[in-house]
């Protein structure tokens, strides 16, 4: 599902409301029957760790960790031991064509590769939903298109829902459904 809209229209705020990061000013967010507003901080953290994934505009990889360790981070946060977590990360990286870069640091890979690692990190623990905030916003069009395709293919193969926020119509066009945000109101694309 893609959400588009002009800068400042509130699309990122909506995304973070859906992820339980920001509280909605009105109404409530439900996930798998649970009201997110009624969860404790620890319960929300657990939810984000186990059921959600995130892709940010600039990747936000930890510069001190290797590519492999960055990818395995959600599994490690969920309590998985180091060796199986790194093995699972290696598997996802290989599927995204990054197997050779495992031992490198984020500063040693290109912007496109870095964003692919961010995608791998978001999907490595097979979450129910991935929230993506301008996932290709920092890339050139060729790279953006390739990264997005790999991202959505992998998510579909895992049965993971993706909610992505973008202002690029080309990116939004690849989503199964498309909504627009204007003045804080969400409408299906094409609706008046």
| Binding-site ranges for other proteins (CB under 8 A) | 7, 12, 16, 19, 21-22, 41-42, 45-46, 48-50, 52-54, 56-58, 60, 62-65, 69, 73-74, 76-78, 81-82, 105-108, 121-122, 133-134, 137
Q: Which is nearer to other proteins, 43 or 176 (CB)?
A: 43
Nearer Cβ to other proteins (16/99): 16
At its nearest, how many Å lie between other proteins and the CB of residue 56?
Answer: 5
Give me the torsion for CA of 29, 35, 38, 43, rounded to 10°.
-100
Least distance to other proteins from the beta carbon of 190, Å? 26
Task: In angstroms, give the least distance from the CB of 67 to other proteins.
Answer: 12
Q: Judged by CB, which is closer to other proteins: 88, or 176?
A: 88
Task: Give the pairing of strands 52-55 and 129-133.
Answer: parallel
What is the Cβ-side half-sphere exposure of residue 158, based on CA atoms within 13 angstroms?
24
Given the complex with other proteins, which of 87 and 176 has the nearer CB atom?
A: 87
We find the least distance from the C-beta atom of residue 17 to other proteins, in angstroms, to be 10
C-alpha to C-alpha distance for 108 and 115, rounded to whole angstroms? 13
* Smaller CB separation from other proteins, 72 or 148: 72
Question: Could you give the C-alpha distances from 147 to 13, 85, 126, in angstroms and in order?
Answer: 24, 23, 18
Between 95 and 105, name the residue whose CB sits nearer to other proteins: 105
CB of 119 to other proteins, least distance (A): 13
Q: Which two tokens stand for residue 12?
A: 């990122």
What is residue 70's three-state secondary structure?
Answer: helix
CA-to-CA dists, residue 183 to 6, 8, 159, 180, angstroms: 9, 9, 32, 10
5 CB-near residues (< 8 Å, 6+ apart): 11, 167, 180, 181, 182
- In the complex, minimum distance from the CB of residue 112 to other proteins, in angstroms, rounded to a whole number: 14
C-alpha 187/C-alpha 107 separation (Å) is 40
């Amino acid at each position: 599902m893609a959400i588009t809209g002009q800068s400042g229209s509130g699309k990122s705020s909506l995304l973070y409301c859906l992820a339980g990061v920001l509280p909605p000013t009105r109404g409530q967010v439900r996930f798998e029957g649970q009201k997110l507003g009624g969860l404790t901080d620890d319960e929300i953290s657990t939810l984000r760790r186990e059921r959600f994934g995130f892709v940010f505009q600039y990747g936000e990889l930890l510069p001190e960790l290797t590519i492999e360790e960055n990818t395995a981070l959600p599994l490690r946060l969920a309590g998985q031991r180091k060796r199986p977590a790194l093995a699972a990360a290696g598997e996802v990286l290989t599927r995204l064509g990054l197997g050779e870069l495992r031992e490198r640091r984020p500063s040693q890979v290109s912007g496109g590769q870095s964003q692919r690692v961010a995608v791998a990190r978001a999907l490595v623990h097979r979450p129910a939903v991935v929230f993506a905030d301008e996932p290709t916003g920092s890339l050139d069009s060729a790279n953006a298109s390739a990264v997005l395709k790999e991202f959505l293919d992998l998510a579909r193969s895992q049965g993971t829902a993706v909610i992505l926020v973008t202002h690029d119509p080309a990116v939004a066009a690849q989503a199964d459904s498309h909504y627009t945000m204007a003045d804080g109101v969400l409408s299906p694309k094409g609706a008046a």
